[in-house]
Every structure is written in structure tokens, then in C-alpha cells.
Amino acid sequence: MTVQTKTVTAEELLNMPDDGTRRELVRGELRETTPAGDEHGYLALEIAAELRNHVKANKLGRTYTAETGFKISSDPDTVRAPDAAFVGQERVEAAGRISGFRSGAPDLVVEVVSPNDRSSEVLDKALDWLEAGCRMVLVAHPERRAITVYRSREDIRVLTADAGDVVDGADVVPGWKLSLPEIFAQE
């Protein structure tokens, strides 16, 4: 027996009623996501706050929260919602005011791993972001007190709080530094 599922478009996703359910669209397939737990939500906000403060103080662009969808591919559509994101000022200005999903990947994405996340799904999501043009993906692992920094499929670094490592925004978020001992000490 063949089971067919209806492919959903980004426009259909955007027009769904707000029933409190967080959804993403992955290659036309609608996926519901579980609300973040305490540790996940706290860490995501701490990283996002550090990012936002730096971006705003230096007028580098815009930062976004977990509820923001980015349409990163079409036919079939994929709309992902990272835990936090940054888009540079030049791209913000070029796009103008947007009422729906922003087209294309952010320059930087932050994803926080939850206890029920499968490693393969987290990796797939990071690679989706990179393939869509994201320049840096940060995957925070609360249990390991570590952040994996993806710049490409080949340029992957694991930084840890125990080693005193610092994430460097480099050319993506110039001047931004995220101290892992500080960010994980606040948990």
C-alpha cells in the first residue's frame, strides 16, 4: 500500500491558524516541534541576548527569535525556525519590510539541542542551513557544555566551556565573542 501525504507550501504554512503549535516545513512535509524545556529555553535566550546586544550596539543588522521562519528552499518548500538568528544590515536593507517569511538563510543561526533531539536530525538541520547559504551555524549542547561551529561541511569545530573556549563571530558578526565558560555557567 502506498500512502501519500499532501505537500504543504510556505504560503499555506504562513496562513495556518495560530493554535500555539510551533511548526516547520521540511521539503514540503509539515513537522510539529515540541516546546523547549527550561534548560533549552534559558540557554537559547542567553545566547540570543548576547548576540542581540552586540548587533544592536554596532548597528550590524537584525537578530531574530525562535518563532521566526526562514524559507530556505522551494519546490518543495522548506521553512525552518532556528532558536536565534542574525541577518546582516546590507541584506536587511535590500529586502525591505517583510510581512511573511524571510527568503533565504540568515547569516548566523543558533540551534540548541534538546534532550529528545536525535543527533542525525540536528546534523541534518545544520547542513540544511549551510546548503541554504547560512555562513555560520552554532549548535549548543547543554549537557556537554559545548558549541559546535559549522562554517561548511568541512569546517566544523567543537568548542567547550571546560577548555575556556570562545565563539568568534569573525566575518559573520564582526567583533562578537561568546565566552562558553560564561554562557554555560549561567545555566
Portion of the chain with pLDDT greater than 70, in percent: 96
Cα–Cα distance, 172 to 61 (Å, whole number): 11
User: pLDDT tens, 62-86?
Assistant: 999 888 999 999 999 999 999 999 9
Place of cell 547542513: 127
pLDDT at site 1 = 41
Of 50, 185, 150, 135, nearest to 159 (Cα)?
A: 150
Q: What is the mean pLDDT of residues 128-148?
A: 96
Cα–Cα distance, 9 to 12 (Å, whole number): 5
pTM of the model: 0.91
Residue ranges of the domains in the chain?
A: 36-185
CA distances to 14, 129, 146, 178 from 71, rounded to whole Å, are 11, 10, 28, 27
pLDDT at site 2 = 44
Which residues does residue 138 pair with via DSSP β-bridges, in sequence order?
Answer: 110, 149
Report the run of H or E that residue 93 belongs to, with start and end: helix 89-95
CATH ID of 36-185, from 3.40.50.10300, 3.40.140.10, 3.90.1570.10, 3.90.1150.10: 3.90.1570.10
pLDDT at site 3 = 44
Of 76, 154, 140, nearest to 108 (Cα)?
A: 140
